């Protein structure tokens, strides 16, 4: 049974590799043609599709569009699930079917938080450059767009969305609002709100941006102080969440027969699953409590 299954896997992988190679060649040729035709032209707004939510998650994390490699992702997931079934029957199949999506979701969330945090740290640099440009006589739109060109990634790459919308004819305040709602961050919303207020009612734009810089830095300082004050609570949560894993690892190294005996018994296996569920529930509850601090 194993031999035919492995042969089927090999044929499947060969077919998928040939399809991916051919698809990559066609896509590279199409991209080169579209790049030459669209050089200097505004980028059209994409229509929402059923993959828009997934693409939004990937784009906010800086991972590009998942639909470009969707066949590769799905084929790897299917092959992993089949190998898990061959190695550990139903348990291996369940782990390989549920594990990769959960790990991918956790990784995307972690990468998004890190990326947005770095972007917020770079925002005062963008605003400071815009203030200097305003004081030299440039308009607010030119100052902000010029500041985008002079900052580093990831904020420069992310705010390319604002530049594209402006080239398409959208006003700068509306483009900044679209950017802020896409990343769902309060600092970006304040930036967009300031641009809207200045665009509608006028006023001293440089003073507005300077106050925004001061407020963002005060919020960052307050967040750091809160993180330092709650360090003991966070360490306690990490310890309580990781203690069951450390105990299980210790038993498996010192006396593996202790847990294997429970695993081979129906009642013991049930108790282990209940303990795992309780540990996951408690870890999730502590994680939610930390997020609310």
> Is 107 inside a domain boundary?
no
Residue 41 Ramachandran class (φ > 0 left, ψ -120 to 50 alpha, else beta): beta
Question: Within this chain, do residues 211 and 171 fall inside the same structural domain, yes or no?
Answer: yes
> Is 12 inside a domain boundary?
no
Question: Within this chain, do residues 179 and 263 fall inside the same structural domain, yes or no?
Answer: no
* ω into 154 cis (within 30 of 0): yes
- Buried b / exposed e over 87-111, threshold 16 CB at 10 Å, is eeeeebbebbeeeeeeebeeebeeb
Residue where a domain stops, chosen among 215, 230, 258 = 215
Question: Within this chain, do residues 123 and 189 fall inside the same structural domain, yes or no?
Answer: yes
- Residues 144 and 271: their CA atoms lie apart, in Å, by 60
Residue where a domain stops, chosen among 215, 232, 265 = 215
For 55, what's the count of Cα atoms within 13 Å in the CB-facing half-sphere? 12
> Is 60 inside a domain boundary?
no
Question: Within this chain, do residues 132 and 184 fall inside the same structural domain, yes or no?
Answer: yes
Question: Within this chain, do residues 130 and 169 fall inside the same structural domain, yes or no?
Answer: yes
The C-alpha R_g of the chain, in whole angstroms, comes to 26
What stretch of H or E contains 60?
Answer: helix 52-60
> Is 273 inside a domain boundary?
yes
Into how many domains does the chain fold? 2
246-282 residue pLDDT tens: 888 888 788 877 777 877 888 888 888 888 888 888 8
Question: Within this chain, do residues 169 and 204 fall inside the same structural domain, yes or no?
Answer: yes
> Is 228 inside a domain boundary?
no
8-33 residue pLDDT tens: 555 565 665 666 656 656 665 655 55
- Written as six digits, the tokens of 133 are 């440009």
- Written as six digits, the tokens of 218 are 């005060």
Domain range spanning residue 278? 240-292
For 87, what's the count of Cα atoms within 13 Å in the CB-facing half-sphere? 11
Q: What integer best gives the mean pLDDT of the chain?
A: 76
> Is 5 inside a domain boundary?
no
0.75 cut: is pTM over it?
no
- Residues 209 and 184: their CA atoms lie apart, in Å, by 20
Residue where a domain stops, chosen among 148, 180, 215 = 215
Nearest one of 197, 139, 191 to 178, comparing CA atoms = 191
CB within 8 Å of 151: residues ≥ 6 apart: 122, 125, 126, 129, 159
160-218 residue pLDDT tens: 888 888 888 888 888 888 888 888 888 888 888 888 888 888 777 888 888 888 888 88
């Amino acid at each position: 049974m194993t031999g035919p299954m492995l042969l089927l896997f090999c044929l499947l992988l060969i077919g998928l590799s040939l399809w991916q190679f051919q698809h990559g060649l066609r896509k590279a040729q199409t991209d080169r043609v579209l790049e030459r035709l669209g050089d200097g032209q505004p980028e059209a707004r994409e229509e929402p599709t059923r993959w828009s939510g997934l693409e939004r998650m990937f784009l906010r994390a800086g991972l590009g569009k998942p639909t470009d490699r969707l066949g590769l992702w799905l084929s790897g997931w299917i092959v992993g699930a089949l190998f898990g079934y061959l190695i550990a029957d139903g348990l291996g199949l369940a782990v390989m079917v549920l594990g990769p999506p959960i790990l991918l979701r956790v990784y995307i969330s972690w990468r998004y938080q890190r990326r947005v945090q770095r972007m917020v740290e770079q925002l005062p640099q963008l605003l400071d450059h815009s203030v200097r440009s305003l004081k030299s006589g440039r308009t607010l739109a030119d100052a902000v767009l010029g500041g985008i060109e002079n900052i580093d990634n990831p904020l420069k790459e992310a705010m390319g969305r604002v530049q594209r919308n402006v080239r398409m004819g959208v006003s700068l305040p509306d483009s900044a609002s679209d950017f802020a709602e896409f990343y769902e961050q309060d600092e970006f919303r304040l930036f967009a709100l300031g641009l809207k207020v200045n665009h509608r009612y006028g006023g001293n734009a440089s003073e507005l941006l300077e106050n925004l810089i001061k407020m963002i830095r005060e919020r960052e300082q307050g967040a750091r102080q809160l993180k330092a004050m709650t360090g003991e609570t966070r360490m306690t949560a990490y310890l309580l969440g990781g203690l069951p894993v450390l105990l299980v690892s210790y038993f498996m190294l010192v006396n593996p027969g202790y847990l294997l005996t429970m695993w081979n018994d129906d009642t013991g296996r049930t108790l282990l699953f209940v303990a795992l569920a309780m540990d996951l529930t408690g870890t999730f509850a502590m994680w939610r409590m930390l997020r609310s601090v």
